[in-house]
Amino acid sequence: MSLWVQKYLALSPRTRIIGGVAIMAYASTALFLSDKAEEKFGMVPTPEDMEKLRGAIPRIRTVGKDEVP
């Protein structure tokens, strides 16, 4: 096992749970505050940017057995 895994497993289960919850709380807070930060710094996407993004997303199309070219 690597050194990091050994050190992590050496922690008590309570410490690992608290660390995991803290990381999830930090990530959740960042998700909620990122939209507000975008607005504050003037980085809100324009409708043109949104259209470019929609055009870049690949589309999935199902093909039946009879429709194979």
The pLDDT tens digits of the residues spanning 27-46 come to: 999 999 998 998 899 888 89
| Other beta carbons less than 10 A from residue 54's beta carbon | 9
Checking if the pLDDT of 14 tops 80, the result is yes
Checking if the pLDDT of 18 tops 70, the result is yes
Is residue 38 within 8 Å of 44, Cβ to Cβ? yes
Higher pLDDT, 42 or 19: 19
Checking if the pLDDT of 48 tops 90, the result is yes
pTM above 0.75, yes or no: no
Cα–Cα distance between 48 and 17 in angstroms, integer?
44
Residue 55, C-beta contacts closer than 8 angstroms, at least 6 positions apart: none
For tokens 């980085």, what's the residue?
43
Cα–Cα distance between 9 and 4 in angstroms, integer?
9
Map out the domains of the chain as residue ranges.
7-57
